[in-house]
Amino acid sequence: MTQDNIKKLETELWDAADDLRANSKLTAAEYKDPLLGLVLLRFAQNRFEDAKIEVENKCFSKC
């Protein structure tokens, strides 16, 4: 992950957190749960994409 990607992810997460706080009636203690879930899903997606590329590269080099 490049520094530009990390900065973009950070911006997206802060924007999502701001939207969630502004557009919901959740307290600070309550909005952390869905936000942490989104962070986990994003992390899992990034790991999956990296692994997928690695597996495809291994397969193509052996085939």
Structure confidence by residue, pLDDT tens digits, 1-58: 788 888 898 898 888 878 877 887 878 788 788 778 888 988 999 999 999 999 988 8
The interaxial angle of helices 3-22 and 28-62, nearest 10 deg, is 150
Q: What is the pLDDT of residue 50?
A: 92
Q: What is the pLDDT of residue 44?
A: 92
- Full domain range(s) for residue 55: 3-62
In a 3-state reduction of DSSP, which class is residue 23? Answer: coil
- pTM across the whole model: 0.52
**DSSP letters for 1-63:** --HHHHHHHHHHHHHHHHHHHHTS---HHHHHHHHHHHHHHHHHHHHHHHHHHHHHHHHHHH-
Q: What is the pLDDT of residue 63?
A: 62
| Structural domain count of the chain | 1
